[in-house]
């Protein structure tokens, strides 16, 4: 079964008007997506931010749960947060994944706005093949990945569809649904 990596990007992403921004790291994203990652066997969750103060903030969230009160309070949070690596850009995430499994991961792009792309069923089959390449799924914060990030992807997954036209899952919800479709039992 192909290894899955996640990269949570805070840049380059867009705001509600499609303008290029750098979003702030929120601790709840780290907790929620780390717990979903641990549940579905993700190898590592790369938290990507170009600003060193923001990367320090992310590390402080993780460290809080490693010492004293945090660790005793809930060891399952530590187990999830241990999947996180904080890196400055996508290239660093790709390099770290390659070091971990000895093979460059395929970059997979998912977007709320895509109407085309590989189906989740096809992706799941593809990942079940022996020697399938590891994948790194790029998740955009804010209002989604900027074109410059999407263009880096080797392949696109179909959009998550619910029952109608409304399609605005939070990045936390989208991450869990993507992982469940690719890895859920």
CB of 37 to a second copy, least distance (A): 9
Contacting a second copy within 72-101 (CB under 8 A): 73-74, 76, 79-80
Q: Are 8 and 31 spatial neighbours (Cβ–Cβ below 8 Å)? A: no
CB of 164 to a second copy, least distance (A): 6
Distance CA 161, CA 130 (A): 29
Among residues 22, 13, 10, 1, the alpha carbon closest in space to that of 128 is found at 1
DSSP letter for each residue of 39-93:
HTT-SEEEEE-S-HHHHHHHHHHHHHTTSHHHHHH-HHHHHHHTTEEEESSHHHH
To a second copy, the closest distance from the beta carbon of 28 in angstroms equals 6
Asked if 28 is part of the footprint of a second copy (rule: CB under 8 A), the reply reads yes
Site map for a second copy, 36-75, x if CB under 8 A? x-xxxx-------------------------------xx-
Can you tell me the distance from the alpha carbon of 172 to that of 52, in angstroms, rounded to the nearest whole number? 23
Nearer to a second copy, 126 or 181 (CB): 181
Query: In this structure, what token pair is assigned to residue 73?
Result: 């309070």
**Under rule CB under 8 A, residue 115 binds a second copy:** no
DSSP string, 119-153: -HHHHHHHHHSTTPPPEEEEEE-TT-B-HHHHTT-
Please identify, among the stretches 93-101, 122-130, 147-155, 158-166, the one whose residues bind a second copy according to the rule CB under 8 A: 158-166
Judged by CB under 8 A, the residue of 13, 30, 31, 70 near a second copy is: 31
Q: Quick check: helix, strand or coil at residue 107? A: strand
Q: How far is the CB of 82 from a second copy (least distance, A)?
A: 11
Tell me: does residue 104 bind a second copy (CB under 8 A). Answer: no
Q: Note whether 160 binds a second copy by CB under 8 A.
A: yes
Residues that bind a second copy (CB under 8 A): 16, 28, 31-32, 35-36, 38-41, 73-74, 76, 79-80, 160-164, 166-170, 172-177, 179-181, 183-185
């Amino acid at each position: 079964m192909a290894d899955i990596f996640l990269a949570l990007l805070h840049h380059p992403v867009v705001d509600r008007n499609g303008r290029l921004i750098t979003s702030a790291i929120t601790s709840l994203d780290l907790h929620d997506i780390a717990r979903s990652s641990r549940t579905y066997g993700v190898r590592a969750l790369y938290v990507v931010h170009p600003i060193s103060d923001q990367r320090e903030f992310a590390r402080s969230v993780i460290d809080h749960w490693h010492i004293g009160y945090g660790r005793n309070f809930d060891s399952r949070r530590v187990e999830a947060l241990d999947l996180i690596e904080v890196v400055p850009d996508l290239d660093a995430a790709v390099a770290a994944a390659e070091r971990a499994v000895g093979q460059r991961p395929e970059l997979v792009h998912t977007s709320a706005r895509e109407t085309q792309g590989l189906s989740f069923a096809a992706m799941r089959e593809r990942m079940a093949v022996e020697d399938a390449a590891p994948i790194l799924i790029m998740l955009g914060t804010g209002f989604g990945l900027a074109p410059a990030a999407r263009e880096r992807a080797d392949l696109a997954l179909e959009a998550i569809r619910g029952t109608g036209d409304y399609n605005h899952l939070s990045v936390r919800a989208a991450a869990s649904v993507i992982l469940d479709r690719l890895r859920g039992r």
